[in-house]
Copies of this chain bind each other. A is one copy, B any other.
Amino acid sequence: MRATIKDVAKLAGVSPSTVTRVIQNSPAISQKTKDHVRKAMQELNYHPNLNARSLVSSYTQVIGLVLPDDSDIFYQNPFFPTALRGISQVAADYNYAIQISTGKDEEQRLEAISQMVYGKRVDGLIFLYSKPDDPLVQLAIQHNFPFLILGKASSPFVSLVDNDNIQAGFEATTYFINKGFQNIAFVAGNKELVVSQDRYQGYKNALKAHNIPLDENKVKFTSGFLLEDSAYKITRKLIKQKPDAIVTTDTSVAEGIVQYLTEIGVKLPIISFDSVKPKLAIDAYVDVHAIKLGRVAFNTLHQIINDSKENKQVCYRRVIPHTITEL
């Protein structure tokens, strides 16, 4: 059988509480005792039962990652694995484990997250998506459970880590304006998503700042599950407006556009958004630095968890700078 804290205590000739204190590296314990106990732990290959620890101490050293529905386009995008990398890098340093939670629909996801929260399986949550009035977020708010959104939240009292997508849209558009283009089209992903709206706002702001009139015929939003397919079809119409450059919010969208343009033998300057260097022949991309987003997200959640232990309620809002890279 696995060794318990009692076995270690016996072998080291101390009480179980002393063993606990050694594990916690309590300054109250003498160096000599610590050495003894540690030797005993080694000898018995002792590892604490984390369930027992969590039961009594009511912290788990686990955080939950809340993903959107299983069917979501989310999984097509390198954003998720990249942000996950950032989160897990910092989590490993703090010795935190990561539990992920998704489901086929909202009901199943709500059930899963309830179990995590009520069942005391995690100390905090990171939402890897952002949508208005999400019931899962509501649950966290109601129970005063530590959480943070990786994205833009509608409520002003929610902690979040995000890019400044309005500014990024502005800069992406300005990139082309500065190169002398005047008929810049804009093609975004799902219109409902806050990121699409924000980047569109940035696009409009940039045109305005340079006194270029907005032509809504040059603005398109994709729909459906496969972004490329939708973008491909949209381009057919878009091209009639004779744009001289295209700002797009997603590499998948850019892929659809490029595919159509290639087929009809047209070449247009394109800028896109991505979390990794696009494998596509486009001119530039806005790097949202998903690894950094993930790293800061974990750090911030960690902060929030500690705050809540002290009954502090702080709302953190962190912006991760983007960069524009020419290809």
Name A residues whose Cβ lies closer than 8 Å to a Cβ of B.
Answer: 2, 47-52, 54-55, 60, 62, 70, 75-76, 78, 80-82, 84-85, 88-89, 92, 95, 97-104, 108, 112, 114-116, 118-121, 228, 252, 255, 259, 262, 276, 279-281
Whether B112 pairs with A92 at a CB distance below 8 angstroms is yes
Q: Given A50-B120, A70-B85, are A97 and B99 also a contact pair (CB < 8 Å)?
A: yes
Contact assessment for A47 and B115 in the assembled complex, using a CB-CB cutoff below 8 Å: yes
Name 10 A/B residue pairs within 8 A (Cβ), A-sorted: A2-B118, A47-B114, A62-B121, A70-B89, A75-B82, A84-B100, A88-B102, A92-B102, A92-B103, A95-B115
* A118 and B228 contact, CB distance less than 8 A: no
A121–B103 Cα gap in the complex (Å)?
Answer: 21
User: In the assembled complex, which residues on chain B have CB atoms less than 8 Å from the CB atom of A49?
Assistant: 55, 119-120
* A276-B76 Cα distance, complex, nearest whole Å: 9
Chain B residues, CB < 8 A from A97: 99, 101, 112, 115-116, 121
Please measure, in the bound complex, the distance between the C-alpha atom of A92 and the C-alpha atom of B101, giving whole angstroms.
9
Nearest first, the 8 A-B pairs at minimum CB distance are: A47-B118, A50-B119, A51-B54, A51-B55, A51-B51, A75-B81, A99-B99, A255-B279
C-alpha gap A112/B95 in the complex (Å): 8
Closest to A46 in B: B118
Q: A2-B118, A51-B52, A88-B100 are in contact. List 7 more A-B contacts (CB 8 A).
A: A47-B114, A47-B115, A50-B120, A52-B55, A95-B115, A98-B99, A99-B100
Cβ–Cβ contact B47 & A119, under 8 A? yes
Collect the chain B residues with CB atoms within 8 Å of residue A279's CB.
228, 252, 255, 279-280
For A108, the closest partner residue in chain B by CB is B92
Cβ–Cβ < 8 Å partners of A48 in chain B: 119
Question: How far does the alpha carbon of A255 sit from the alpha carbon of B255 in the complex, in Å?
Answer: 13
**A195 vs chain B, min Cβ distance (A):** 19
A67 → chain B closest CB, angstroms: 8
* Alpha-carbon gap, A116 to B103, bound state (A): 23
Shortest Cβ distance from A45 into B: residue: B118
Residues of the B chain whose Cβ atoms lie less than 8 Å from the Cβ of A2 = 118
Alpha-carbon gap, A119 to B70, bound state (A): 29
A62 contact set on B, CB distance < 8 A? 99, 121
Question: Would B88 and A120 count as touching, CB distance under 8 A?
Answer: no
Residues of chain B within 8 A (CB-CB) of A100 are 84, 88, 98-100
Contact of A104 with B92 at beta-carbon distance under 8 Å, contacts A85-B75, A99-B98, A255-B279 already known = yes
Interface centre among A80, A92, A114, A252 (most CB of B within 10 A): A92
Selected contact of A115 from candidates B50, B104, B120, B228, CB within 8 Å: B50
Complexed CA–CA distance, A284 and B108 (Å): 37
For A120, the chain B residues whose CB sits under 8 A away are 49-51
Inter-chain contact A104/B89, CB cutoff 8 Å = yes
Least CB distance, A172 to chain B, in whole angstroms? 21
A237 to B179 Cα, complex, angstroms: 37
Q: With a CB–CB cut-off of 8 A, which chain B residues contact A121? A: 50-51, 62, 97
Q: In the bound complex, what is the Cα–Cα distance between A62 and B101 (angstroms)? A: 11
